[in-house]
Amino acid sequence: MSKKLEEYNVKLQETLKGTSIWKQNSFKFSPTFKHADIKIIQDNLVKSSNSSGYKFAMMEPHLESGASIKHFGFRIKESSSNWIAVGMCHKNVVVTKNYGFNFSSIGHGAYMISANGGSWSHSKIEHNNSVKVYY
C-alpha cells in the first residue's frame, strides 16, 4: 500500500471515530427526500423494500451548511444487494427524476462511487470500472 493511501486511510478512520461532520451536524436520512421504496430504520440507517431499480435517499442538512471544507466517510453496515453507492447529488435534479437513478446516461444528478468500484458523474461519463481518488 502506498504511503499516501495509508495516510488517507488513517485520516478516514479519524473522521469516522471523532470529529466527523456526522456528529457535528446530526446528519440523518430525510423522510421527505427519498424514493418511496426506501424505509428509514433509524436516523442514519435505511433499507430498500424491494430490489428492483436504483434509488436515492438523501441526508439532511445539506453539505453547504457550515465550513467550506468537509471531511467525511460512510460505513456500510450491511448490504444484501450486490450494488450500493454513496456520494453527492444535485437535490433538484434527483427530485425531478423521482429519486430514481439511471446509471447509463448523464444528467441523473449524482456524483457517486460504488462498493464494486464504479463511479458516476452527473455531467460527465466516467469509466465505471475504476475509482478515481484525488488528494
pLDDT of 30-76, one tens digit each? 999 999 999 999 888 888 888 788 899 998 887 766 556 666 667 77
Q: What is the mean pLDDT of the segment spanning 113-127?
A: 76
Query: What is the percentage of the chain residues whose pLDDT exceeds 90?
Result: 18
135 belongs to a structural domain: no
| pLDDT at site 131 | 44
**CB-CB contact of 40 with 103 (8 Å):** no
User: Which structural domain range is residue 52 located in?
Assistant: 3-121
Q: Note the Cα 24 to chain centre separation in Å.
A: 18
pLDDT tier, 92 (very low <50, low <70, confident <90, very high otherwise): very high
Model confidence at 19: pLDDT above 60: no
On average, the pLDDT of the chain sits at 77
**CB-CB contact of 82 with 48 (8 Å):** no
CA dist., res. 113 & res. 132, Å (int): 9
CA dist., res. 27 & res. 29, Å (int): 7
Alpha helices of 63-106 — where are they, by DSSP H?
91-96
At 128, list the grid cell.
465505471
How many structural domains is the chain composed of?
1
Q: The pTM is what? A: 0.66
Starting at the edge strand that comes first in sequence, how are the strands of the sheet with 85-89 ordered? 85-89, 110-114, 119-121
131 belongs to a structural domain: no
105 belongs to a structural domain: yes
